[in-house]
């Protein structure tokens, strides 16, 4: 694509992605698990412990906000997830099947939101890309936003968003199926593993699509060096 970053910039982008994933692992996952187990040791029931685990994603959202000096679209969606998941925690009382299945409502809701966002000027996964494919600074966010002027980039973002939407709808359905067809122990194990399996697959798909989009853009520019970029 025109004005694509050079090797040094791409290396910095890879480091930025690694840093974002590390911060996510530490706060969104690690701190959340620690908070959950501490709450349980202090006598909280499953629902209250689950609410306590929200401190991890909330902390990560604040860190992202401070680094970029703005509240990103991804952070807003994560905050919405926290609120919806907290509300879902108190639905259905102590039915263990619902404790396993309840998050499928949030998962399916995110999938539906992805598909719905396809009719808007920029699809939902574009904003998540800004969170994980940049260094989290205002400059990095501006660079990511500027890529939207390239046709290959726009097309890749719509494709990625569509596949993520379908993937999360399927994952939510499988979680509900497990909750009501398996023992509680087995269903709980599935619910803990399944999201990561889908996430790994979707992230891998997104990386492949992104690389192909970049290659197509570079090939187009090489073939038509005087072409004008459509805005």
What pLDDT is recorded for position 26? 77
Give a yes or no: residue 2 inside a domain: no
What is the mean pLDDT, run by run of 10 residues, along the chain of 231 residues?
48 61 71 79 75 76 70 60 65 66 80 94 87 70 84 92 96 90 77 80 89 80 59 48
The size of the chain, in residues, is 231
**Nearest by Cα to 47 from 5, 108, 88:** 88
Residue 130 pLDDT: 76
Question: Of the candidates 104, 97, 103, which has an alpha carbon nearest to the alpha carbon of residue 186?
Answer: 97
Is the separation of the CB atoms in 156 and 180 below 8 Å? Answer: no
- 1 occurs within a structural domain: no
Instruction: Write down the pLDDT at residue 170.
Output: 95
231 is a domain residue: no
- Helices within 133-183 (DSSP H only): 138-146, 151-181
What is the per-residue pLDDT for 3? 47
| Nearest CA among 205, 153, 23, 16 for reference residue 8 | 16
- CA-to-CA separations, 133 to 77, 78, 147, 164, 221, in angstroms, rounded: 17, 17, 12, 16, 23
229 domain residue, yes or no = no
Residue 110, in any domain of the structure: yes
Specify burial of residue 114 (Cβ count, 10 A radius: 0-12, 13-18, 19+). buried
- Per the structure block, which two tokens stand in for 130? 């800004």
Looking at the domain assignment, is residue 41 inside a domain? Answer: yes
Residues 148/122, Cβ–Cβ less than 8 Å: yes
Count how many domains the chain has: 1
Give the alpha-carbon dihedral of 167, 34, 23, 47, to 10 degrees.
40
What's the whole-model pTM score?
Answer: 0.64
pLDDT of the residue at 136: 62
Q: Give the domain extent around 111.
A: 7-223
Query: Among 128, 125, 90, 84, which residue's Cα sits nearest to residue 105?
Result: 84
Does the residue 228 lie in any domain?
A: no
**Longest CA span, the chain:** 68
Q: Is residue 16 in a domain?
A: yes
């Amino acid at each position: 694509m025109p004005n694509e970053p050079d090797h040094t910039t791409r290396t910095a982008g890879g480091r930025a992605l690694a840093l974002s994933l590390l911060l996510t692992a530490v706060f969104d996952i690690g701190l959340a698990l620690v908070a959950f187990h501490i709450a349980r040791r202090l006598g909280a029931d499953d629902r209250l412990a689950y609410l306590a685990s929200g401190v991890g994603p909330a902390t990560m959202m604040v860190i992202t906000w401070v680094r970029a000096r703005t509240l990103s679209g991804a952070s807003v969606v994560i905050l919405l997830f926290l609120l919806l998941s907290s509300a879902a925690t108190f639905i259905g009382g102590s039915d263990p099947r619902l404790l396993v299945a309840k998050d499928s409502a949030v998962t399916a809701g995110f999938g539906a939101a992805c598909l719905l966002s396809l009719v808007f000027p920029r699809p939902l996964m574009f904003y998540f890309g800004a969170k994980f494919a940049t260094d989290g600074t205002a400059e990095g966010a501006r660079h990511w936003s500027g890529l939207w002027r390239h046709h290959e980039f726009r097309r890749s973002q719509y494709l990625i968003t569509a596949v993520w939407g379908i993937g999360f709808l399927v994952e939510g359905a499988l979680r509900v199926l497990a909750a009501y067809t398996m023992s509680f122990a087995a269903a709980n194990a599935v619910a803990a593993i399944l999201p990561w399996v889908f996430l790994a697959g979707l992230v891998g798909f997104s990386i492949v699509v992104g690389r192909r989009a970049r290659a197509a853009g570079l090939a187009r520019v090489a073939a038509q060096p005087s072409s004008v970029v459509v805005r």
